[in-house]
A and B are shown apart, each in its own frame.
Chain A
Amino acid sequence: GENVEQHPSTLSVQEGDSAVIKCTYSDSASNYFPWYKQELGKGPQLIIDIRSNVGEKKDQRIAVTLNKTAKHFSLHITETQPEDSAVYFCAARYNTDKLIFGTGTRLQVFP
């Protein structure tokens, strides 16, 4: 069945360093890939998304890259700050209106 794998499960970086989270998906028909940030006690919030006709998208310190051939997509956060500490989820859209989520990455940014 459809599956999204996410790595790593935890990531610790020094403030100012970059962080990269990687996901792979199984359904080659998937065409929409959002990334969510979840802070403690809150619901997931969309931070960036990418559609299959685009290879890269950037929004200030956050970027997402997509390799459709390899079925990989990645989240890149540059110049990390303590407020970037949260759990991050990738997802892939399949079967028209449903998302499959990765298992999450807990990012800790140390000052």
Chain B
Amino acid sequence: NAGVTQTPKFQVLKTGQSMTLQCAQDMNHNSMYWYRQDPGMGLRLIYYSASEGTTDKGEVPNGYNVSRLNKREFSLRLESAAPSQTSVYFCASIFGGYSNQPQHFGDGTRLSIL
């Protein structure tokens, strides 16, 4: 049982390059989330998707776009990468957004932008 799978695990980009981070879950969860984690700042929500076909902004959406391709997959795109987007990115999922259930996290993508 894989849970939440993120690819790639590591990536180095140059300023201005574009990239898509992939996330897939096999738990039949409805809601999916993208976070970024920076030292001393905890996890901050970038975008989330309450169900297939819907997406909404979180706390720090600027510079990012998302696509909920189907129920399993939720991708995060950086159209023109900036050094300020150097971070560790985590994808998470939950069965139902309105239930008090824990979010399940992937192991992250470590992204460096030079």
Contacts and interface: CB of A to CB of B under 8 A. Distances in A.
Interface residues of A, number: 24
A42 interface: yes
Q: Interface on chain A toward B: helix, strand, loop, or mixed SS?
A: strand
Interface in B98-112: 98, 100, 102-108
Interface stretch (A13-21, A77-85, A94-102): A94-102
A89 interface: yes
Centre residue among A41, A44, A93, A101 by max chain B CB count within 10 A = A44
Contact of A93 (B31, B100, B107, B108): B100
Contacts of A104: 40, 42
Nearest to B94: A97
Contacts, number: 54
A101 B35 CA distance: 11
B105 A102 contact: no
Contact of A97 (B4, B42, B43, B50): B50
B61 interface: no
B107 A41 contact: yes
A97 B92 CA distance: 12
12 contacts: A6-B42, A34-B103, A43-B105, A43-B107, A44-B43, A44-B90, A97-B31, A97-B94, A97-B97, A98-B33, A98-B45, A101-B44
Interface of B: 4, 31, 33, 40-45, 48, 50, 58, 90, 92, 94, 97-98, 100, 102-108
Interface of A: 6, 9, 31-32, 34, 36, 41-46, 49, 51, 89, 93, 96-99, 101-104
6 closest Cβ pairs, A-B complex: A97-B97, A43-B105, A32-B100, A46-B102, A101-B42, A101-B43
